[in-house]
Structure 1
């Protein structure tokens, strides 16, 4: 059963401006431990790829926070929610700390889709209750 749905669109230029103003501190506020490594690697190779990566993660976390009905308030935090890539390339939500405990206690699972173009990043998240096992 669907628990919640969230979507978000993000202007990549706005993310680039925040990164320019605040430096890597902005990325460190938004990204979890695995994500920050990927961000730094992509940014070092091609700056635009790093910025797009940051924008898609920002967008996905906003969409996830809407799908769980919390917005950005505890236990939902930027760094406790990561969007990782499965071996197949499919994006997946990985949660940490109190957010993971809250999510698991409700028997929820999340599905995420992210996309980006030159100027925009968009995300769609569906959170559902896990089916009871027979």
Structure 2
């Protein structure tokens, strides 16, 4: 049964402006430690790819927060929600700490899709009860 559905569209230009204004501190606020490693590697090779990576993660976490009905209040936080990928390339959510405990206590499962195109990143998340 569906517990919640969330969607988000993010203006990549807004993310770029935040990075220009706040530098790595902005990325550190949004990304988990594992995501930060990926973001730095992508940014070093091609800065625009790093911006889009950050925008898709921002969007996916917003969509997830809407699907679980918490918005950005505890136990939901940017860094406790990580967007990973399966060997097939399918995106998946990896939760940590109190958010993981909260999610598992409710026997929930999440499905997420992310995309980006020039100026926008978009995400869709469905959370189900097991």
In structure 2, what is the equivalent of residue 44 of structure 1?
Answer: 44
| TM-score, normalised relative to structure 1 | 0.96
- Alignment RMSD (CA, Å): 0.4
In structure 2, what is the equivalent of residue 121 of structure 1?
Answer: 121
Deviations 1:64-117 (A, max 9, x none): 000000000000000000000111100000000000000000000100000001
Q: Distance in 2 between matches of 1:77 and 1:3?
A: 19
Name the count of aligned residue pairs.
130
Map 1:2-17 to 2 at 5 A: 2-17=2-17
Q: Distance in 1 between matches of 2:127 and 2:59?
A: 16
Q: Distance in 2 between matches of 1:8 and 1:29?
A: 18
In structure 2, what is the equivalent of residue 83 of structure 1?
Answer: 83
Partner of 2:3, secondary structure, is: strand
Q: Which runs of 4+ in 1 moved over 2 A?
A: none
Map 1:59-78 to 2 at 5 A: 59-78=59-78
In structure 2, what is the equivalent of residue 106 of structure 1?
Answer: 106
Structure 1 unaligned segments of length 5 or more: list them. none
Structure 2 unaligned segments of length 5 or more: list them. none
2:23 aligned with 1:34, yes or no?
no
